[in-house]
Structure 1
Amino acid sequence: MKDQLFAVVDVETTGGGMSGNRLTEICIVLLKGNKVLDKYTSLINPEKPIPSYITALTGIDNALVANAPRFHEVAKDIELMTRDAIFVAHNVNFDYNVLRNEFRELGFEFTRRKLCTVRLSRKLIPGLFSYSLGRLCDSINIPITSRHRAEGDTDATVILFQRLLGLDTNFEVMRSFLHARSREATLPPHLEAEQIFDLPDDPGIYLFKDNKHKVIYAGKAINIKKRVISHFYDKGTKEYKLGQETYHIDYETTGNELIALLLEAEKIKKHYPKFNRAQKRPGTVYQIISYTNQKGVIQLALGTTRTLNNSVGTFYNRLRAAEKLEQLCEDFNLCPRFCTLQSNVEVCSHYSIQNCEGVCEGKESISSYNKKVLAAIASLGEENSTYIIREKGRHFKEEAFVYIKEGRYMGYGFIDTDVSIATVEDLDPFLRIKEATYHTNKILSSYLRNGAHKNIVILEQPAASSSLKKVSGNWTDGLFALQ
């Protein structure tokens, strides 16, 4: 690689995310091997205001770039100077993506092989406290002037790259980073490649952590490795920032998507990661509630809450809650008016429910009507079964289970297939007790609606002991000895 061309690049921008980031300055130093051939530097008019915090950082303000060329006026020079060269930068994905987006605005594709001096430094100069350009240069005595200006940062990066070339005498590291199948160029600057390559291809959850091992993102996946890598191919602003702050990745396999979803919800609630948006706040819970009015009639109504209070029935979708209330009204001959399906009427006249037996007109006694309401409420309670959801384990000699007691999520566990389970108590040593939340209940509700009933084992609870009863499906011998 002694005759290879390298274009060492640094850009300054307006900030504001990858999609809205415009160039304000660029510097390119062209090397052949480790010898400098040429330098190009220019301010650029970004055709948009420069925020004050950017000016405070770089010293570049609107007045300074007012008469500078626009990008389309310098694009040809940049393309020619970097043609046939490997694109080199400190945190290369930032500079490369900003330039590529500028070319795309002009209708052209800008494609270069690239090398990141952050990742190369971590490989060839291991063990440093920080690999930011300023601290790295301080650590290995590289002079750096005009910090956060394109020319000053590029000059320092050139010296750093020349030293890295000297450390990689046979160019083995460079070639491995440039190999067509290597993902080094797309990985975040602070993340060791081995952490990615060692990830499993199994279902589970993964945690992105910063330099202090604080969880900044929690996710679930059918294939952990594939999903993690997909974050780094996404060029959106959020994914870019996530990559910049990721230093470590932890994971936990679950064997199936259901437990992965439940565990992801648990981790988000526990760590409140800065890059997670969903599941940080409980959604609205719809509840069928009951109360006694001034006449002594037990009324049913649809209410909303953000907590999982005890109620007649809890739902995570308003339409399903309303449908259930109408079904109760129809099945138990209740009055639409006293089920709040109608308002501002003295006598019910619902458009579809016509089987009210007249409590609203005094034709039916309140005591008789209230017995029907209590029966309707009891029917909802019967739906809160105690059961186990049976799922795939983390390997072929293991199966997983999720335990729901009287409609409430209790936790999950894993059992070897050669263990026979005959009673609920037999599950105790394997159960990982977990907290039921809005999100775990919503996950389970969605799972059951999507046709997973074949995986359910209903638990009957006689006085003496609790046994397991098959609901449907053909069960193999092993995990549950079905009674």
Structure 2
Amino acid sequence: MYTVVDIETTGNGIHGNRITEIALFNIDDGQITDSFSSLVNPGCEIPPFITGLTGITTAMVRNAPDFKSLAPTIMEFTQDRVFIAHSVNFDYPIVKKEFERCGEVFIRKKLCTVRLSRRIFPGYKSYSLGKLCSSLNIPLTDRHRAAGDARATALLFQKMLSQTEGPALVQHFLNARSQETTLPPNLPKESYLKIPATAGIYYFRDKNGEIIYVGKAINLKKRVLGHFYDRTEREQLMCRETHSIDFEQSGSELMALLMESIAIKTNFPKYNRAQKKQRPLYGLFSYADRDGVHHLAINRLQKGQQSPKVFYNQTEARLFLEALSIRFGLCAKYCHLQEGARVCNHFRVPQCNGVCRGTESPEDYNQKVEAALEDLREENKEFLIREKGRNRDEEAIIWVRNNRYRGYAFIPKTDTLANLDDLEARIQWQTHSSETDRILQSYLLRDSLEIIELGTLDRKESTLN
């Protein structure tokens, strides 16, 4: 009926893992009826840290049979049986992959003793095999060797079957609709069941409650479940570390994207790759030299500095300044597109009217610089984006000022906001970043967004509803 399996591996990642030892214990009618164990030649060197953990050296497996030689025995031993392991979603894929390398298909029902023991023996601080066996007085010898760990797991499973609710829970776990074999070993099913099928962000937490991953989705429940079916190495490692899942509803995809971006930059989760790096920002600045000529220049933004235009890389900034110079007839020298030049002769920017050669007065030139800056200020409007709320009785408001994300608020539809001062009392202030800027710029191109222009109205007179 059941085969308890334990393997030792080379530890070279989920997909690069090769088996170095395997042990199987068959259980029928609650009793151990047969067993098999063998060292396995993985066809590669065993890393020193694995030898330190298991005691298995490359020399020990050099003359051992390879997996292909053992495959017929393992296949027959487990035929028509449930594959049981302590954290089965680690052992089963590795065994299945070894069979694939042999050109064989290996499909078995599977059962996780970590998840099952959490239900039958609740309340323990740790459900690792060693600590659980110690708590339940189950003998465990030859720790981190396949035969020792498999025998202890078999005794643990016997103990679970002997409990009043044990057999019924085993059958429940084997029911495909229960999703018990899909969920990570340390994640209580209740933690998954509470997740709604709505838009929002979710947090994977480890055993210490630390956030290890932040994600966003239009359908939270469906997206979270997708992580558990993903067989990539990174996803499997992350799921094995996941002990709980929290979530926040957002109401819309745009809100979910903004909330996710801030959450990643705030928590720096270990399994998030994107958006963690703080990229430098560049700004457009204006100043007058000793001759009274107004310069435009690009410089790195320091914390707290304001600029009429913000860029996320120097190339983008330079191309923008070149286009601005052409549009308003500015001098490439005084826009710092030609450092050290006596007079401008930029290959992409036409020669100016002569401020650098003394044929145009600083006053006339400065008027053109001011016109360019005024044009930028006209672009920097203040507006709100109205989005769906988390339920039918509320709406979300996203505040943008000077093309920079300021924050958001969820507001009941029955409330009337008379002016911006009312909104400020409810806004959740957020930090603008290159990611939030890209998110907003992408969504502002869509006609479906509802934009509330605020212009330059006095704060007390800005009616939002």
Match of 1:46 in 2: 42
CA distance change for structure 1 residues 431 and 305 in 2, over 3 Å: closer, same or farther? closer
Say which SS state the counterpart of residue 454 (structure 2) adopts: strand
Q: Which residue of 2 aligns with 1:91?
A: 87
- Residues 109 and 325 from structure 1, CA distance in 2 versus in 1: closer, same or farther, beyond 3 angstroms? farther
1:362 and 1:78 map into 2 onto residues whose CA distance is: 90
Matched, 1:451 2:446: yes
From 432, 453, 460, the equivalent of 2:455 is 460
* Pairing of 1:171-190 with structure 2 (within 5 A): 171-190=167-186
Specify the alignment match of 1:139 in structure 2.
Answer: 135
1:125-182: CA deviation from partner (whole Å, max 9, x where unpaired): 1112211101111111110100000000001111111111222567321222111223
Partner of 2:257: 261
Q: Judge conservation of contact 1:195–1:249 (CA < 8 Å) in 2.
A: yes
* Contact 2:308 2:380 survives alignment (8 Å): no
Counterpart CA distance in 1 for 2:395 and 2:97 is 48
Following the alignment from structure 2 to structure 1, what is the Cα–Cα distance between the partners of residues 78 and 302? 56
* Corresponding residue number in structure 1 for 2:232: 236
The one of 2, 9, 16 equivalent to 2:5 is 9
Q: Provide the secondary structure at the position in 1 that maps to 2:245.
A: strand
Contact 2:408 2:428 in 1 (8 A): yes
Q: Is the 8 A contact 2:420 2:459 kept in 1?
A: no
Query: Counterpart of 2:151?
Result: 155
1:334 aligns to 2:330 (yes or no): yes
Deviation at 1:351, TM superposition (A): 4.9
Q: Bigger CA drift: 178-187 or 339-348?
A: 339-348
Q: Is there any run of 5+ residues in structure 2 with no aligned partner, and where?
A: none
- C-alpha displacement of 1:419: 2.4
Show structure 1 runs of 5+ residues with no match.
Answer: 469-479
User: Once the 2 structures are TM-superposed, how far is the Cα of residue 237 of structure 1 from its aligned partner?
Assistant: 2.0
The 8 Å contact of residues 206 and 244 in structure 2, kept in 1 or not, is answered as yes
- 8 Å contact 2:120–2:165 — kept in the other structure? no
1:52 partner letter: P
Given candidates 70, 75, 90, the residue that maps to 1:74 is 70
Q: State, as a whole percentage, how many aligned pairs show the same letter.
A: 45
For 1:317 and 1:453, how far apart are their aligned partners in 2? 30
For residues 250-399 of structure 1, the aligned pairs below 5 Å read 250-292=246-288, 296-304=292-300, 309-316=305-312, 320-342=316-338, 346-351=342-347, 353-354=349-350, 356-399=352-395
Q: How does 1:51-66 map to 2 (within 5 A)?
A: 51-66=47-62
Counterpart-to-counterpart distance in 1, 2:344 and 2:17: 62
Say if 1:357 and 1:364, in contact at 8 Å, map to a contact too: yes
Give the SS at the match of 2:181.
Answer: helix
Question: Which whole-Å CA distance do the structure 1 matches of 2:100 and 2:270 have between them?
Answer: 31
- The answer on 1:215 being equivalent to 2:211 is yes
Is the Cα–Cα contact under 8 Å of residues 287 and 314 in structure 1 kept in the other structure? yes
What is the Cα deviation at residue 217 of structure 1?
1.7
TM-score calculated relative to the size of structure 2: 0.92
1:365 deviates by: 1.8
- Write the letter of the residue equivalent to 1:144: L
2:411 match: secondary structure:
strand
AA aligned opposite 1:44: V
CA distance in 1, matches of 2:452, 2:427: 16
Distance 2:328 2:82 in 1: 76
> Partner residue of 1:130?
126
Q: Partners of 2:275 and 2:459 in 1: how far apart? A: 41
1:44 Cα deviation after fit: 0.9
Greater shift after overlay, 148-157 or 25-34?
25-34
TM-score (norm 1): 0.89
Equivalent in the alignment of 1:407: 403
Superimposed CA distance per residue, residues 338-358 of structure 1 (whole angstroms, 9 cap, x where no aligned partner) = 334456755444555437322
- Is contact 1:282-1:306 (8 Å) kept? no
In the alignment, what sits opposite 2:21? Answer: 25
Aligned counterparts of 2:363 and 2:391: Cα–Cα separation in 1? 58
Q: 1:455 corresponds to which letter in structure 2?
A: E
Preserved CA contact (<8 Å) 1:44 1:68: yes
Cα–Cα, structure 1 residues 382 and 257, in superposed 2: closer, same or farther, change >3 Å?
A: same
CA contact (8 A) 1:203 1:255 kept: yes
Cα distance between partner residues in 2 of 1:287 and 1:428? 27
Q: Write the deviation string for residues 246-280 of structure 1: whole angstroms up to 9, x where unpaired.
A: 11111110101222222222322332222222222
**Structure 1 stretch displaced more, 230-239 or 385-394:** 230-239
d(CA) in 1 for partners of 2:69, 2:299:
62
Q: Does 1:109 align with 2:105?
A: yes
Q: Paired residue for 2:432?
A: 436
Cα distance, 1:123 vs structure 2: 0.9
Q: How many residues align?
A: 465
State the partner residue of 2:163: 167
Residue 476 of structure 1 is matched in structure 2 by: none
Instruction: Provide, for residues 81-131 of structure 1, a one-character-per-residue CA deviation record: whole Å limited to 9, x for no partner.
Output: 112111000010111011122222333332211000011101111112211
Q: Deviations over 1:423-466 (max 9, x none)?
A: 22232343223333444344333433x43684221113434723
Contact 1:390 1:456 in 2 (8 A): yes
Tell me if structure 1 keeps the 8 A contact 2:381–2:455: no
1:374-404 CA deviation, whole Å, 9 max, x = no partner? 3212322232221111111011121100112
Determine if the alignment matches structure 1 residue 198 to structure 2 residue 194: yes
